Amino acid sequence: MKYRVPVLLVLILSTIIILFSGCTANEYKQITKTIKGINFSFEYPRSYIDTNDTLREDSQHKYAVILKRPSNNPTIDEFDTNFAIWIYDIPDNAPDANTLVQDLLQSRENLPSYHEYEFIEHSSVEVAGIQAELIVYSMKSLGVGEVLATYPSVYRDIYFDYEEHRVDIHISSFPELAEQVEKEFEHIINSFKFLD
């Protein structure tokens, strides 16, 4: 009789752990895409929506996967988090990803004060076994019609080269979501893999 209570307690705790670990896995959804002949996959939060069912080319000839999370406060913005992966050909004589990031950091320091640019972090990270550069910053950006955003966003940008392509992985969010989005971004990056 005295052994039943501890055994029962262990069974209950094991069940709770299994249930909660399952909940975490169910919070993410896997996606597989092909851009410019490069096959890759990653997991993203189920709360994001894929706004890019078909690959598109923007004015800079970059191809993208675009995901967004609808905002809880649509009076401020329709989406509170924006995620994108851009893959494009590296132009002749273009700097490597590390030099590009150094140039970006320097140019952002010279932005007009109304952007409210604030540098947060620059570090090296690994994406799918490839050395990459991460920059984190806060600023007001120019939106549709070159209208300045009324609030700053926190940005996380990763740059690296893969074969003859440059890869930019980007996420931005409202400042109050920065901690949550950092964890989501880490999950996305840790699950990212090339399928070739």
pLDDT per residue rounded down to tens, the chain (196 residues): 555 555 544 445 444 443 344 345 589 999 998 888 889 999 999 999 887 644 455 545 566 788 888 877 666 667 788 898 988 888 888 888 888 899 888 888 888 888 888 999 999 999 999 999 999 999 887 655 555 566 778 999 999 999 889 999 999 998 888 999 999 999 999 999 999 7
Residue 40 has what pLDDT? 94
Query: Is domain 29-194 given the CATH code 3.60.40.10 in the classification?
Result: no
Please report the DSSP string for 34-51 in residue order. Answer: EETTEEEEEEEETTSEE-
- Domain regions of the chain by residue span: 29-194
Confirm if 81 and 173 have CB atoms less than 8 A apart.
Answer: yes
**Encoded amino acid at 184, one letter:** E
> What does each C-alpha distance from 177 to 154, 181, 185 come to in angstroms?
9, 6, 12
- State if pTM tops 0.75: yes
